[in-house]
Amino acid sequence: MAAYDDDNIFAKILRGEIPCFKVYEDDDTFAFLDIMPRSNGHMLVIPKAKATDLTDIDPADLAGLMAVVQKLAPKLVAALGADGFMIQQFNGAGAGQTVFHLHIHIIPRWEGESLKPHGTTMADKDALAELAEKLKGAFSG
């Protein structure tokens, strides 16, 4: 396994060097909208701890990350009126991982709606900004 790269895009987002559409943050985790969403509201939850993938994170940090995923997912579904949600998480290039900082995808799902392919279509930035504000409100309660 490769060593953690401090110059990966998510590390830069955490340091504030690259903008994102943040929807949630606490002491240990950070959540933001995917700019190439598979469905409306597709978001990423990442640990602030340096970890390349699922095998490279302290179990306590992983537990905290998953607790946030568990807390945010139903609020995301409720805020968007989705029928459910899907969790995706990739480990290694062979599995489709393209950013080597552990991240969990929460993807809202609607019955009968097809997902867009992973990482292919850039979303409208104004629409993402508007959605991020809506979700911040939903996640603050």
Give Cα 91 distance to the centre of its chain.
15
Task: Quote the DSSP letter at residue 52.
Answer: S
Of 42, 101, 103, 105, the active-site residue reads: 103
Q: Is 118 a catalytic residue?
A: no
Both structure tokens of 31: 């959540």
* HSE-CB of 74 using CA atoms within 13 angstroms: 4
Length of the chain, in residues: 141
What residues are labeled active site?
103
